[in-house]
Amino acid sequence: MVARMTTATAVGLRSERGPILLAIMVTTGLVAIDATILATAVPTLVAELGSFELFPWLFSVYLLTQAVTTPLFAKLADRVGRKPVILVGIAVFLVGSILCGLAWSMPALIAFRAVQGIGAGAIGPMAITIAGDIYTLEERARVQGYIASVWAASAVIGPTLGGLFAELDAWRWIFFINIPLCLLAAWLLARSLNETVERSPHRIDVAGGALLVLSLGLLLVGVLQGGVSWAWVSWPSAVAFGLGGALLVAFVFVERRAAEPILPGWVLSRRLLLTTTLISIGVGAILIGLASYLPVTLEAALGVSPLIAGLALAALTIGWPISASLSGRLYLTIGFRSTVLIGMVLVLAGTALLAATAASPSIAFAAIACFLTGLGLGLVATPTLIAAQTSVEWNERGVVTGTNLFARAVGQAVGVAVFGAVANGLYRAAGGTGALGEGASGAVDPVAIIPASQAVFIGALVCAIATAVIATTMPRDRPAATMGS
C-alpha cells in the first residue's frame, strides 16, 4: 500500500484552495526573493563582515543545497504527504533566516545560507505539487501562471529590497523580514491544508539519499566554482568531478537494489517524463544565459543604468506569466506537445533576435527579444510540468515535480558554468582585464564585452534549438480536464 490522498480529502481541499494558494505563493516568493535579494547588498555585507573573496558562495551555496535536497523532499512527500514536508521546509527556512540575520562573519553567513537552501529545497517542489493536487487540469495553467508571476515579481523585488536595506544600513533585515511571512504561510497551511494519507511501513533509502546529496553536491560545486574559485584544469576540479562522478555511479547501483529508491528508474524510463525532464534542463540553461549576461552587456556597451538594463530583462518575466496562465486553453485544445512546440518557436525567435543584434546592442531589440522568449518559455515550462504531473498518480507526483525542478536547476548550474567559461575566454581575448566583470577598475570593458556576450546569446540559441528538437519527440496527446490525473 502506498500513500495517497483520498477523494474526500480532495473535495475538502477545493473548499480551502484560496488560503492554500495564498500560502504557497507567499512561500514561493520567499524562496525566489532570497535567491536574488543579496545581489545589491554585497558591498554593505563585505564592508561589515569582510572576506570579499567568499561572497560568491552566498549565492552558490543557497542554490546548491536547494538543488540537491529537492529530490529527497519530493520523494518523502509521496510517502508522508505534502503538508508535513512543506511545514518542515518553512521551519528550516525560518531558522536559517534568523541565523543569517545574526551572522557574525562571512563563513557563518554562508553556512546559514545553506540552511536556508535546505528549507527552499522542500518549499519549491511542494508548492507546485500541492497546486497540482488541488486544481483540475484545466485550472493548473492559470494557477501556475500565478506562481510564475511571483517568480517574475521576485526578480525585481529581491534586488530592490536588498538595495533599500543596504541604503538604510540594515542588511540584517533582509533576513528578518522573512519571519512574519514564514509564520503567515505556516499558519495558513496548518489551518487550511488537510490531507488523509494512508500510511504503511516504509524503508527509508538512507544510502541512496546520502549518495545523491554527496554526488550532486560535488558535481555542482565543480560546475559552479570551476573557472571562478579555481581553474578548470586543477586538482580541486579533478576531485569535485572525479569523486562526484564515482559517487553518482554508486548511487545508480544502490538505487537498483533499494526497496523504495529516492529516484525510481521509471522516472527516466517513461518517454513523456524523460522528454519533459530534458526540456526543463534546456529551459534552465536558456534562462540563466539571458539573465546573467544581458544586463551587464547593456550597461557596459550602451552605458545605461542598471535599472534600465534590468527593465529590459524584466520583459522576459512579464511575458512568462502571461503565456503560462493562458497555456491551459491551448493544451486542452491541441495537446501538450503542440503547445510546447508553439512556445519553442517563440523562444527560437527571441534568442535568434538577441544573437543577431548582439554585435550592436539595442535596448528596444533586447526588450522585444526577452518578451518573445518569456512568452515562449511560459508555453514550454508550465505545460511540460503539468503534462508530467498529469501522467502519474498522487503517490508519484512529488517525485515527478521534484525531478522537473531539479532538472531546471541543473540546466542553470551547467549553463552558467559553460557560458561563463566561454564568455571569460573571449572577453580576455578581446582585451578585457581579468574575469568578466572583475576588471582592474571593477568596470566591464565595453569593447571586449561584445564578443563575449554574443557567444553567450548564440549559445542560448543553440540550447533553444536542441530543446525544440527534444520537444518534437514528446508523445502526441489530447488531455482530458480531470482532477488529480
Beta carbons of 153 and 161 less than 8 angstroms apart: no
Question: Is position 233 within any domain?
Answer: yes
d(CA 177, CA 98): 9
Residue 193 CA to residue 213 CA, distance in Å, equals: 29
The residue behind cell 522585444 is: 368
- Within a domain: 3: yes
Which backbone phi and psi does 15 adopt, to 5 degrees?
Answer: -75, -15
Tell me if 200 is assigned to some domain. Answer: no
String of DSSP letters for 265-310: THHHHSHHHHHHHHHHHHHHHHHHHHHHHHHHHHHHHH---HHHHH
Residue 397 lies in a domain: yes
Return the SS3 of 480. Answer: coil
pLDDT of residue 12: 44
Angle, helices 178-192/82-101, rounded to nearest 10 degrees: 170
CA 269 from centroid of its chain's CA atoms: 24
Distances (CA, A) of 196 to 11, 12, 37, 82, 333: 12, 10, 37, 11, 34
Q: Of 166, 194, 222, which closes a domain?
A: 194
Q: Do 229 and 81 sit in the same domain of this protein?
A: no
Query: So what's the pLDDT on residue 226?
Result: 73
Shared-domain flag, residues 255 and 268:
no
Q: Which of 168, 194, 220 is the last residue of a domain?
A: 194
For the record, the C-alpha cell of 101 comes out as 540575520
Q: Identify the DSSP state of 99.
A: H
C-alpha cell at 194: 488537510
Structure confidence at residue 349 (pLDDT)? 97
Same structural domain for residues 146 and 221? no
- Residues 117, 234 share a domain: no
| Judgement on whether residues 29 and 178 belong to the same structural domain of the protein | yes
Q: Are 211 and 257 in contact (CB under 8 A)?
A: no
Residue type, 402: G
- For position 6, what pLDDT does the model report? 42
β-strand partners of 230: 226
342 and 459 belong to one structural domain: yes
Q: Within this chain, do residues 33 and 157 fall inside the same structural domain, yes or no?
A: yes
Q: What is the pLDDT of residue 204?
A: 66
Same domain, 40 and 148: yes
In a domain, 145, yes or no: yes
- Nearest CA to 212 among 263, 286, 174, 283? 263
What are the grid coordinates assigned to 300, written together?
557596459
SS3 category, 136: strand
Domain closes at, from 194, 216, 232:
194
CB burial string 235-254: b at 16+ within 10 A, e below: eebeebbeebeebbeebeeb
**Phi, psi for 136 (deg, rounded to 5):** -70, 165
3-state secondary structure (DSSP) of residue 205: coil
For residues 386 and 345, membership in a common domain is answered with: yes
Domains identified in the chain, total number? 3
Name the residue range of residue 26's domain.
1-194
- In a 13 Å sphere around the CA of 120, the CA atoms on its Cβ side amount to 28
What cell numbers appear for 432 in the block?
578585457
* Phi, psi for residue 483 in degrees, rounded to 5: -85, 130
In the 8-state DSSP scheme, what is residue 5?
B
Stated pTM of the model? 0.77
Residue 469 lies in a domain: yes
Looking at the fold, whether 309 and 372 belong to one and the same domain comes out as: yes
Q: For the chain of 485 residues, list the mean pLDDT of each consecutive stretch of 10.
A: 41 62 85 73 74 68 80 80 90 95 90 91 86 79 76 69 77 88 88 71 71 80 72 85 90 79 76 93 88 78 75 80 84 91 97 93 92 93 89 81 83 78 79 52 69 91 97 78 40
204: CB partners within 8 A, 6+ apart: 260
| 140 within some domain | yes
pLDDT at residue number 64:
77
Residues 450 and 478 in one domain: yes
Task: Tell whether 254 and 323 lie within a shared domain.
Answer: no
Instruction: Give the CATH number, domain containing residue 308.
Output: 1.20.1250.20
Q: 446: burial class by Cβ within 10 Å (0-12, 13-18, 19+)?
A: middle
Evaluate whether residue 201 is within a structural domain.
no
